[in-house]
Amino acid sequence: MSVNIIGEIVWVLGIIAWYIIRYPFERRGRRVPVASSRRSVSERVALAAALAGLAIVPAFYVATGIPKAADHSLPLWAVVIGAAIFCLAMWVFRRTHKQLGRNWSITLEIRQKHELICAGPYAHVRHPMYTSFLLMGLAQAFLLPNWVAGLAGIVGFAVLFFLRVDKEERMMLDVFGPQYRAYMDKTKRIIPYLY
């Protein structure tokens, strides 16, 4: 089996793991009432970009081999690094879901009886779930032997993150006021100690 195929298989397994972690929260989320929602056009674009970059473009590539002109071949070390980063991403992703619990939403929403979470992964950064998306995007670049499909994840992450993060923090400040302000003073956004 070629290294390229192994990379693609690891990526598919990673996406399956992603869905297995997310699915129960999606189900449970439907039963938790929403107190306020900030769905907007830019929020829709953000979600669509993340879905396209981290799932649809790479899945289309794995299924069809398109766009062939952007193919390259992977060294084994790239697949090993990609697999390790994907594992780390899923570990962080799972921890953030467990920690947010009923407060989680796919979009910018405040649940009824929403609680501010500052523990677990949220003690280190304010947006650890977005950290896990960045790690997923990096893993994708190491695992897929194609420049377009490989780099689409990082682009999708960047669009989601930069369209959303200011609005999300403003929403949290509106709801939690000084409590969130104090939390912001203590934490970075996605990379501990750095950013």
Q: Does 97 bind ligand SAH (CB under 6 A)?
A: no
Q: Between vectors from CA 57 to CA 55 and to CA 62, what angle results, nearest 5°?
A: 90
Judged by CB under 6 A, which of 15, 62, 110, 154 binds ligand SAH?
Answer: 110
Smallest separation, CB 51 to ligand SAH (Å): 15
Given the rule CB under 6 A, which of 6-14, 28-36, 86-94, 95-103 is the region that contacts ligand SAH?
A: 95-103
Q: Does 109 bind ligand SAH (CB under 6 A)?
A: yes
Of 117, 148, 155, 173, which lies in the binding site for ligand SAH, with binding defined by CB under 6 A?
Answer: 117
* Residue 43 near ligand SAH by CB under 6 A: no
- Determine, following the binding rule CB under 6 A, whether residue 187 of this chain makes contact with ligand SAH: no
Among 61, 122, 142, 157, binds ligand SAH (CB under 6 A): 122
**Cβ at position 184, least distance to ligand SAH in Å:** 10
